[in-house]
Amino acid sequence: MHYAITNIDHPGRNWLRTDLRPKHIEYLRTPHEGVKLVLAGPFINEDNGEMIGSLLIVSADDVAAAERFRDGDPFASGGLFQSSDVRPWKWAIGAPESSEV
């Protein structure tokens, strides 16, 4: 099943995002048991272009595996996120395995 992981940064912690980013990228590129990263990218502040959060789509064995993956991210363990949510997600349009809605 797919899960959407949405994270919102604490305001004013762009310095922390910058500091943790190399470890974050390495973490995302490392294989994790029971979880496969499908896509990921930051939310952007339209006014100044700063990264203010992130969206990750994962394929995971269950919600617990997706939550473990989220919690192991250096951004999460390093205290960057003000809020974070993991929800089941259905890839309807543009899914590689089907073009049906």
DSSP secondary structure of 13-70: -HHHHHHHHHHHHHHHHS-BTTEEEEEEEEEE-TTT--EEEEEEEEEESSHHHHHHHH
Domain holding 72, by residue range, is: 2-89
**Number of neighbouring beta carbons within 10 Å of residue 61:** 12
Residue 94 covered by a domain = no
How much is the pTM? Answer: 0.91
Over range 29-43, report the average pLDDT: 96
Per-residue pLDDT tens over the stretch 49-96: 999 999 999 999 999 999 999 999 999 999 999 999 999 999 888 877
The rounded Cα 97 to chain-centroid distance in angstroms is 22
Over range 9-31, report the average pLDDT: 97
Residue 101 covered by a domain = no
- DSSP-derived letter for residue 93 is S
Residue 96 covered by a domain = no
**What pLDDT is stored for residue 98 in this prediction?**
56
Residue 59 covered by a domain = yes
Residue 95 covered by a domain = no
**What pLDDT is stored for residue 64 in this prediction?**
98
**What pLDDT is stored for residue 92 in this prediction?**
87
Residue 46 covered by a domain = yes
**What pLDDT is stored for residue 35 in this prediction?**
98
Q: Which tokens in the block code for residue 55?
A: 């969206």
CA distance 91 to 3: 10
The CATH number given to whatever domain includes residue 63 is: 3.30.70.1060
